[in-house]
A and B are shown apart, each in its own frame.
Chain A
């Protein structure tokens, strides 16, 4: 490490970014931390090389571009009328072939230009079944390819379906397309956000209107061994930094379930609306 980096580290340590209200024995704490770091390093260094080779890096799907993988699956399509009419959607009824449910997994919730999607999942009506397609990246450089691949799935008449996507996923992708200097393919598309429809019906009746609640109450979905959404960023980072893919695979499962639930909720709500 450079001398400047060394000096910076020292300055930061001195500046004591974590302040406590009373004097504390900082020297000791600092030394212990330094010792811990050293010990940690020694532990890792002492590990036999073969041990590292055993790290489970197996990834599902196929690599369709360097660092970009695609997972594809089919699921039974929930009973969906040919034309969907939802109060939440713009006035016109939507042919089911136009619908594309999507959901992203991101590096966090902080917002702004520093948060990115590492996985984009989409579900649509295809050949009489629900087609699940998930794009995800294994290096940062593949983000552009992922964004282009997702753009290819969208047509001018595509109607997006999401859960809180109007406020979260869509603006986040808009930012990513902008940063990649690509046109935003989501701009101007019809977008049905099921969260709004669920809120209208169930606010105050349920403890909350999260997707997990909605799918449990309306679809009897039971998730087992589900990776909580909040752990998704760490799962991906672990893989990115050379760690195991175990949890990243669970993220993919989680995302796929989100997509199936989206489709299920859409069908359920359409049914409710059709029957008053």
Chain B
């Protein structure tokens, strides 16, 4: 928290800026606020922060000090010096400072010094391969500048077989990712013996990404790492880095299960920054329709780039990245003979394409970048003046992380959050104080979640036998070992549990809930056979159906054939004036009840459910006018998920007696689902994406969504909108389900704690300061509902009261 200055409301919104440079975010902010006063619903001003310096530590090896000086670093920022001291003092350390505050040196200095002085080794873990490669490039530069003789190398899935041996034997700094540590390094630790015997530091950057189920997996991988280290007689020190989250120290301590010293005061200078909240204007007063966020983001980016400001636009989807890139290119890149001023950046591009974009951005050759969250993490792209968020990223922490991309050193920067029509976005721009005062979200993990623990104990037993009485993290693993023994995976002999099965357990345990293989996009224009992009499995059904327009750097290709089993999409270059957007919906069906009980005047159950996501077709949308110019069918297998869920329902007669209309009851259930989802995510130490909520009838006959419109929409089993009053049976049900194939065991504890959850949800709604409902309790609501007679908040509270035990 201390890592970012508290935003304060701007007392003189239109006062002339003293240093109104021509190319300055302040001037643009002022212009925008004058010209679009009716669209700006809030303005925050973050004052400039002077640098706090500290001298280079005298005990720094002279060659390293010289290398730093050769690269223009004559002194350190205060947090870098603090980190040096804390690490040299033997503490585990977490550094929490904003983007571009020189976090890297916090760990690079002690690591390089130890490598030079004691030939000590270090392991770096980054969440993505791209970040790992950046890091190695930077280390190599520093190494060259000072002739330090330290060998840094990446070790990941892309490392060729013949290079691996060299990395294991000669790498001083091995840069990898948690997945590789889990599947490639730990199960082969004997090959890394020399590395482990000399391992002094483990550096884990971007720890805020290790949260929820993924974080719980990573915490277990770290337990295994510590176990293997102990075998080689070492206990490495952890140096962690995090973006701003609500609980960096607690999160770091939960990950490494040790006391961690937190360094949260950044000594890096920051220019002043303006943040504007922008609501698109109403274009149809009768229907209350607002202009799209896309059109507004486009306008702001054009203004900024036109004023000579380096601008980054964050879009929420890959499709939107391409659409916005096209619009900006139409303005700024119409002369094909000149180098491109606008670039798109997102996952799914080939690595070479991404590298090239990063290099061009760093070199200042690009004036406008449109990106997904891919640029939220610490990829080095140089200085930027303006950041436009096309839609609220969904969390306070991610919003600040993205806004942090603008503003370096002395320049005034500008960030604009453009609200979409999503109720959450609309709520935020109507209530700027919510955004200003909300603390960043907490990162939560539960390393002892039984099924996750079980998977990693299997991996751990493969790596080294367990000895009776040995603890694993904070757990006594005896019962788990017995289960593994009974299934013939382990063999108990004397006081040892030895691995005996012919299998490689790490391969069966994925840390992330992705998988099933990427799709490649093959361009067949004029007989070519070129791979132009990759699409991950989850996105394939939504973007690669036959007929889809697939864009790469805003160049449109049409998908001609999708080979689902072969994971290939064949495309040809096209010149149409529209793009396509998939129509999809999700429905849920109960397969089996494991357990049930009364809950207040209704019931609660726990069991297995079947969640189906279907892409029913697609819309063709014309550029600029955004009119819908046609539909196409999609014929793809359903995305199915068998998982476990906990659910609550109320009997129909009670509902009819308690609510004026079925629509009211439905809105109440959606609000109750929101509140239950919030308290359940906290209770399960999960992330919102790990645990999903749904409201439906349970047999798949109908389901209800609140996406985009705020009010409960009743949909028949085929996805069409229906009237709830017309249905013969009406037993709305709130579901919370594990968003993982097979489930990860989140929902059973929730069932067991159902009374407590219900009380917490009621308390959350009752204690919330809002009047009619808000994202912090029953979900964002529309402006019209704030004055409604029966507020969504009251309806949700009624549903929760009926489900609570007296």
A is bound by B: yes
What's the nearest-Cβ distance from chain A to residue B595, in Å? 10
Produce 1/0 per residue, B499-516, CB < 8 A to A: 111111110000000000
| Size of B's binding interface in residues, CB under 8 A | 47
Cβ contact within 8 Å between A107 and B451 = no
What's the nearest-Cβ distance from chain A to residue B461, in Å? 8
Taking chain B's interface residues, is the majority helix, strand, or loop, or is none over half, making it mixed?
mixed
Measured CA separation A113–B193 after assembly (Å): 12
Measured CA separation A110–B458 after assembly (Å): 14
Q: Which of A39-84 contact B (CB under 8 A)?
A: none
What's the nearest-Cβ distance from chain B to residue A24, in Å? 9
Produce 1/0 per residue, B590-602, CB < 8 A to A: 0110100000000
Produce 1/0 per residue, B184-200, CB < 8 A to A: 00011111010000000
Say which one of A14-22, A122-130, A192-200, A266-274 lies at the interface with B.
A14-22
Cβ contact within 8 Å between B450 and A7 = yes
Cβ contact within 8 Å between B644 and A110 = no
For the complex, is A140 an interface residue (Cβ under 8 Å from B)? yes
A-B contact pairs, 10 of them (CB 8 A): A19-B642, A21-B640, A22-B640, A26-B591, A112-B187, A113-B189, A113-B462, A114-B187, A114-B499, A241-B491
For B480, the chain A residues whose CB sits under 8 A away are 4-5, 8
Say which one of A154-162, A173-181, A209-217, A221-229 lies at the interface with B.
A173-181
Given known A12-B454, A113-B189, A141-B494, contact A108–B483 (CB-CB < 8 A): no
For the complex, is B446 an interface residue (Cβ under 8 Å from A)? no
Cβ contact within 8 Å between A113 and B190 = yes
- What would 14 more interface pairs be, CB under 8 Å, given A5-B482, A9-B483? A1-B483, A2-B479, A8-B454, A11-B450, A14-B594, A15-B743, A19-B642, A112-B187, A114-B463, A114-B501, A141-B493, A141-B494, A171-B191, A178-B190
For the complex, is B464 an interface residue (Cβ under 8 Å from A)? yes
Cβ contact within 8 Å between A140 and B462 = no
Closest 5 CB pairs between A and B? A108-B502, A114-B462, A112-B187, A4-B479, A178-B190
What's the nearest-Cβ distance from chain B to residue A29, in Å? 11
Contact partner of A178 (CB less than 8 A), chosen from B193, B500, B640, is B193
For the complex, is A93 an interface residue (Cβ under 8 Å from B)? no
Q: Which of A148-176 contact B (CB under 8 A)?
A: 171, 174-175
For the complex, is A237 an interface residue (Cβ under 8 Å from B)? yes
For A175, the chain B residues whose CB sits under 8 A away are 190-191
Cβ contact within 8 Å between A110 and B190 = no
Produce 1/0 per residue, A105-146, CB < 8 A to B: 001111111110000000000000000000000011100000
For B450, the chain A residues whose CB sits under 8 A away are 4, 7-8, 11
Cβ contact within 8 Å between A113 and B479 = no
For A5, the chain B residues whose CB sits under 8 A away are 479-480, 482-483
For the complex, is B608 an interface residue (Cβ under 8 Å from A)? yes
For A7, the chain B residues whose CB sits under 8 A away are 450
Cβ contact within 8 Å between A112 and B491 = no
For B482, the chain A residues whose CB sits under 8 A away are 1-2, 5
Q: Which of B489-531 contact A (CB under 8 A)?
A: 491, 493-494, 496, 498-506
For A21, the chain B residues whose CB sits under 8 A away are 640
Cβ contact within 8 Å between A107 and B502 = yes
Which residue on A lies nearest to B494, using beta carbons?
Answer: A141
For A113, the chain B residues whose CB sits under 8 A away are 187-190, 462-464, 499
Interface residues of B (CB under 8 A from A): 187-191, 193, 450-451, 454, 462-464, 478-480, 482-483, 486, 488, 491, 493-494, 496, 498-506, 589, 591-592, 594, 608, 610, 640, 642, 644, 741-745, 748
For A26, the chain B residues whose CB sits under 8 A away are 591-592, 608
Which residue on A lies nearest to B193, using beta carbons?
Answer: A178
For A14, the chain B residues whose CB sits under 8 A away are 594, 608, 644, 743, 745, 748
For the complex, is A233 an interface residue (Cβ under 8 Å from B)? yes
For B743, the chain A residues whose CB sits under 8 A away are 14-16
For the complex, is A207 an interface residue (Cβ under 8 Å from B)? no
For the complex, is A87 an interface residue (Cβ under 8 Å from B)? no
Produce 1/0 per residue, A18-39, CB < 8 A to B: 0101110011000000000000
For B483, the chain A residues whose CB sits under 8 A away are 1, 5, 8-9
For the complex, is A88 an interface residue (Cβ under 8 Å from B)? no
A-B contact count (CB 8 A): 116
Contact partner of B190 (CB less than 8 A), chosen from A8, A19, A174, is A174
Which residue on A lies nearest to B503, using beta carbons?
Answer: A110
For the complex, is A240 an interface residue (Cβ under 8 Å from B)? yes
Contact partner of A139 (CB less than 8 A), chosen from B454, B488, B493, is B493
Cβ contact within 8 Å between B462 and A112 = yes
Cβ contact within 8 Å between B644 and A140 = no
Measured CA separation A26–B742 after assembly (Å): 13
Contact partner of A23 (CB less than 8 A), chosen from B189, B479, B501, B610, is B610
For B488, the chain A residues whose CB sits under 8 A away are 237
Measured CA separation A179–B498 after assembly (Å): 12
What's the nearest-Cβ distance from chain B to residue A137, in Å? 11
Measured CA separation A111–B502 after assembly (Å): 9
Measured CA separation A114–B464 after assembly (Å): 8
Given known A112-B504, A179-B190, contact A15–B591 (CB-CB < 8 A): no
Given known A27-B592, A113-B190, A140-B491, contact A233–B502 (CB-CB < 8 A): yes
Contact partner of B748 (CB less than 8 A), chosen from A1, A11, A23, A109, is A11
What's the nearest-Cβ distance from chain B to residue A105, in Å? 12
What's the nearest-Cβ distance from chain A to residue B472, in Å? 13
For B748, the chain A residues whose CB sits under 8 A away are 11, 14
Measured CA separation A113–B483 after assembly (Å): 21
Cβ contact within 8 Å between B464 and A11 = no
Measured CA separation A110–B187 after assembly (Å): 11
Measured CA separation A102–B476 after assembly (Å): 41
What's the nearest-Cβ distance from chain A to residue B333, in Å? 45
For B502, the chain A residues whose CB sits under 8 A away are 107-110, 115, 233
Measured CA separation A99–B441 after assembly (Å): 67
What's the nearest-Cβ distance from chain B to residue A224, in Å? 26
Q: Which of B187, B189, B504 has the most CB of A within 10 A?
A: B504
Which residue on B lies nearest to A176, using beta carbons?
Answer: B190
Cβ contact within 8 Å between B479 and A8 = yes
For B486, the chain A residues whose CB sits under 8 A away are 1
What's the nearest-Cβ distance from chain B to residue A219, in Å? 30
Measured CA separation A112–B491 after assembly (Å): 18
Cβ contact within 8 Å between B479 and A107 = no
Which residue on B lies nearest to A22, using beta carbons?
Answer: B640
What's the nearest-Cβ distance from chain B to residue A273, in Å? 28
For B479, the chain A residues whose CB sits under 8 A away are 1-2, 4-5, 8
For B745, the chain A residues whose CB sits under 8 A away are 11, 14-15
Cβ contact within 8 Å between A15 and B644 = yes
Given known A2-B479, A114-B187, contact A107–B500 (CB-CB < 8 A): yes
Measured CA separation A164–B341 after assembly (Å): 56
Cβ contact within 8 Å between B187 and A15 = no
Cβ contact within 8 Å between B491 and A240 = yes
Measured CA separation A140–B589 after assembly (Å): 49
Measured CA separation A9–B748 after assembly (Å): 13
Measured CA separation A17–B488 after assembly (Å): 17
What's the nearest-Cβ distance from chain A to residue B236, in Å? 19
For A110, the chain B residues whose CB sits under 8 A away are 501-504
For B642, the chain A residues whose CB sits under 8 A away are 16, 19, 23
Cβ contact within 8 Å between A19 and B498 = no
Measured CA separation A2–B480 after assembly (Å): 10
Measured CA separation A93–B743 after assembly (Å): 62
